[in-house]
Chain A
Amino acid sequence: MSAASRRSRCYGLMAEFASAGEILAAVRASRGAGYERVEAYTPYPVDGLAEALGLRKSPIPLLTLIGGLLGAATGWFLQWYSAVLDYPLNAGGRPLYSWPAFIPSTIELGILGACLCAFGGMLWFAGLPRLRHPAFDTPDFRRVSRDRFFLCIRSEDPMFHIERTHAWLMALSPLRVANTPMNPEEPA
C-alpha cells in the first residue's frame, strides 16, 4: 500500500462531548445499536464507562499476585542457597536454615515483585509508552486531558459506514464529529 493511500485511510469517527453523563449515554447507545469497536477518551476515570464499553476485567491483579509470589520465592531461595549451601557460617551453633530470620527480606522482595508487575502490567496492557497515536490528530483532542470527552467508532467495525456512522453520531448531539485519519506510518 502506498503512503498516499495509507494517509487517506480512516482510523475512526470521533464525536466530542462536554460531560461525563453525555459520553456514558452515547457509549451505551452506540453499543446498543450494534457497534462493537467503540473507544472512549475522558479526562478522568468515569464510573461505569468500562462496563458500558464491555471491557474485560483487568488481568493486572493476577499478574501482581504472580509477581509477588515469584519475588518472595526468589528471596527465600536466595537466602536459603547462600546461608545453607554456598556460605554456611556457624554462628554460636545456631541452625544454618534459620527461617524466621529470613521472613522480613522475603516479604520485602515479594512486595517488590508485586509492585513491579503491577506497574509494568499497567503499561503493557495500556499499550504505553506510545507517543504517536492517530487519536492525537483529532481536532480539539488537546482538551481530552482538560474537560472534553471523546467517543470513537473505529473504521474496522463491521457496521462502520462513513456516512451512516457520521449520521448516527450526529444524532447523539455531540459538540462536533470529526474524521480521524490513520497515521501515515501506521502498519497496514
Chain B
Amino acid sequence: MSSEAAQVLDEYGRPGAAPEIQGRHTYGTITDKIAGLVLERRCGPGFWITLGVTSALAVIFAVSLIYLLVAGTGIWGLNNTEDWGFMIASYVWWIAIGNSGTFISAFLVLLRQRWRTSINRFAEAMTIFAVAMAGLMPIMHLGRPWFFYWLAPYPDKMSLWPQWRSPLEWDFFANTTYLILSILFWYLGLLPDLATMRDQAHKRWQQLAYGLLALGWRGDARHWHHYESAYRLLAGLGAPLVISVHSVVAIDFAFADLPGWHSTILPPYFIGGALYSGIALALTITISLRALFGLQDFITPRHLANLAKLMLACSFVLTYTYAAEIFTAFYSADHFEIYTAIDRLGGRYAFTYWIAIFCNVVVPQSIWFRRVRASPLALLVVTVIINVGMWDERFMIIVTSLHRTFLPSSWHTFVPTFWDWSTLVGSLGTFVLLFLLFARCFPVISMAELRRLNARVTGVDR
C-alpha cells in the first residue's frame, strides 16, 4: 500500500483504516479492469479444471435426483422416526447462505455502508444460486415431488385449497417471493453494467447478448433517477423479507411439538446462524475472487476485516442461543426437554454437538487477533470451518430431536447412505459451477457504483 493511500481517512475521519479503494483509478481504469475480466481475460487451465470438476459434481447431483424420482425417499437413511435428514439440514443451510447475501446487499445499502460496493454483486449472485439449491431440497423431500405445485393456490378440479395454517405453506410463499425479489434486485443493479459490457464488447454476439440484456440502458439522468429510487426500495423490501423468510424456516421446526424444536427462541436463533454462515461463505468467495481475479485494489483489507468482525458478532449471537437452549431445557423442568439436552451433550450424536461448538464458538474467537483478520489465508480457513460447523449444527438440531422421541419403542438412528452424501456434495458442486459461470459471463463488481465510490473516496473526477 502506498503512503498516499494510507493517508486517506475513513468515513468517520479516522486515519489508519484501509480505504475502500486502493491505487490510482479513474472511471476508465475501473471499467477496463472489471469488464476486462469477462471480455479480455483468457481462461487458464485452472478454470477448465474447476469447470470440469464442478460439472462432474453437477452430473452426480442430477443422477442422485433422478434416482430419487425413480426409487423414492427410501434411498436415503431415513426411517419412520428420523423422517428429516440431510435434505432438510441442507435446505436450512442453503437458505441461510442466501439470506446473508441479501443482508450484505440490502441492509448495508440502507445503513449507507460504502464498503459494500465491492462485494454486493457477487453476494447477490450467491443468494440466487443458494436459494435455487435450497428450493430443490424440500421439494425433493416431499416423496412425490411432481405434486409440489399443489402448494400453489389455484382453482383446481379437485376443488382443494392449500392449508393456509401450515408453516410449510408459508415457506412456499416466503421462498418464492424471496427468489423473485433476489433476481429482480440483482438484475436491476446489473442493468447499467450490462450496458457497459454492450459498449465495451468487440465481438458481435457479445454486443447482441449484452445489448438485449441491457434493455437499451443509456445512462440518461432520468434512468438513474428512477433506478436509484427503485434500488433503494427493493433494498428496503429485501431487509424485512430475509428476516421473515428465515423466521418461517425456523417456525417449520418450532411448530412441531418435539423437545429441542418447540421453542420461541428458534427464529432469532436461526437468523443469527443464517447471517453467520452466509457471511462466512461470502468471505470465502470474496477471498477466492480477490486472489483469482487480482481485485486487491477494490477488495481491500478493510473489506475482509469488516466481514470478519460481522462474523464474530454473529458468533456471539449463536453462542448466546446455544447457552439459552440448554438453560431453558433445564429451567422448563420438563422431563423430555431435559432428556434431549442431555442426549445432545452426551448421547449417540453428541459428536455433532461438540463439532458445532468447536467450529462455531471456539474457532471464530481467533478473529479477535488482528493478524488473523489481516491474513486472507487464515480467514479462508476459518470461514470454511465455520460453514462445515453450521451445516453440522443444522444436522444436529434435526437428528438429536428426532432419534429419541417420546416413546422408547420407536427410538431409531439415522445413518446417511451414499445417496445422502452424493446429493449434498452434488449440490455444492452445482452451486460452484453456477457461480463460476456467473463470474465468467458478468462483471463481478458493480462498475457504476465503483465509479461513484472512487470519485467520493479519492476525489478523482475523471
Q: Which residues of A contact B (CB under 8 A)?
A: 18-21, 39-46, 49-50, 53, 55, 58, 60-61, 64, 68, 75, 78-79, 82-83, 86-87, 89, 91, 94, 98, 101-102, 104-105, 107-109, 111-112, 114-116, 118-119, 121-123, 125-133, 135-136, 141-147
Which residues of B are interface residues toward A (Cβ below 8 A)?
26-28, 31, 153, 159-165, 167, 169-170, 173-174, 176-177, 180-181, 184-185, 188, 192, 195-196, 198-200, 211-212, 215-230, 233-234, 237, 240-241, 244, 248, 448-449, 451-452, 455, 461-462
Given contacts A83-B164, A147-B31, contact A43 B216 (CB under 8 A): no
Known: A119-B234, A147-B31. A55 touches B225 (CB 8 A): yes
* Docked complex Cα distance between A124 and B233 (Å): 16
Which residues from chain A contact B220 at a C-beta distance below 8 Å?
Answer: 39-41, 126, 135
| Chain A CB within 10 A, most for which of B28, B31, B226, B462 | B226
- Chain B residue numbers with a CB within 8 Å of A50 are 221, 224-225
Report yes or no: A111 in contact with B218, Cβ–Cβ below 8 A.
no
The distance in angstroms between the C-alpha atoms of A4 and B455, with both chains bound, is: 44
Task: Knowing A44-B449, A131-B216, say if A146 contacts B165 (CB, 8 Å).
Answer: no
Contacting residues, chain A, for B234 (C-beta < 8 A): 115, 118-119
Tell me how far the C-beta of B21 lies from the nearest C-beta in chain A, rounded to whole angstroms: 14
A144 to B, closest residue via Cβ? B219
Q: Kindly state the separation between the CA atoms of A64 and B184 in the bound complex, as whole angstroms.
A: 14
Whether B218 pairs with A104 at a CB distance below 8 angstroms is no
Taking the nearest CB of chain A, how far is it from the CB of B241, in angstroms?
A: 5
A123 to B187, CA, bound (A): 12
| Contact in complex: B164, A105 (CB < 8 Å) | yes
Whether the pair A111, B216 counts as a contact (CB closer than 8 A) is no
Inter-chain CA distance A76–B34, complex, in Å, is 46
Min CB–CB distance B106 → chain A (angstroms): 11
Docked CA distance A127–B248 (Å)? 38
Question: For residue A146, which residues in chain B have a CB less than 8 angstroms away from its CB?
Answer: 27-28, 31, 196, 199-200
B452 touches A45 (CB 8 A): yes
Q: How far is the CB of A181 from chain B (nearest CB, A)?
A: 16
B188 touches A122 (CB 8 A): yes
On whether the beta carbons of B244 and A104 are closer than 8 Å, the reply is yes
Give the complex CA separation of A4 and B61 in angstroms.
Answer: 60
Q: What CA separation (Å) do A91 and B164 show in the bound complex?
A: 12
By the criterion CB–CB under 8 Å, are A111 and B229 in contact? Answer: no
- A86 to B192 Cα, complex, angstroms: 47
20 further contact pairs, Cβ within 8 A, besides A39-B222, A87-B160: A20-B461, A40-B221, A43-B451, A44-B449, A46-B221, A49-B224, A50-B221, A55-B222, A60-B229, A64-B237, A108-B170, A108-B174, A111-B240, A115-B234, A119-B188, A119-B230, A133-B216, A141-B218, A144-B199, A145-B200
Name the residue in A60, A64, A108, A132 with the highest tally of chain B Cβ atoms < 10 Å from its Cβ.
A108
Q: CA of A30 to CA of B225 in the docked complex: distance in angstroms?
A: 20
Residues of B within 8 A of A45 (CB): 224, 227-228, 448, 452
Taking CB atoms, residues of chain B closer than 8 Å to A135 are: 218, 220
Is there an interface contact between B216 and A60, defined as CB atoms closer than 8 Å? Answer: no
Minimum C-beta distance from B346 to chain A (A): 37
Q: Which residue from chain B places its CB closest to the CB of A78 in the assembled complex? A: B153
Chain A residues with Cβ below 8 Å from B219 are 41-43, 144-145
Q: Are B216 and A130 in contact (CB under 8 A)?
A: yes
Given contacts A78-B153, A98-B165, contact A115 B222 (CB under 8 A): no
Using CB atoms, name the residue of chain B closest to A22.
B461
Looking at the assembled complex, report how far the CB atom of A16 sits from the nearest CB atom of chain B, in whole angstroms. Answer: 13
Give every chain A residue within 8 A of B28 (Cβ-Cβ).
146-147
Contact, CB under 8 Å: A115 / B174? no
Q: B204 CB to closest chain A CB, in angstroms? A: 15
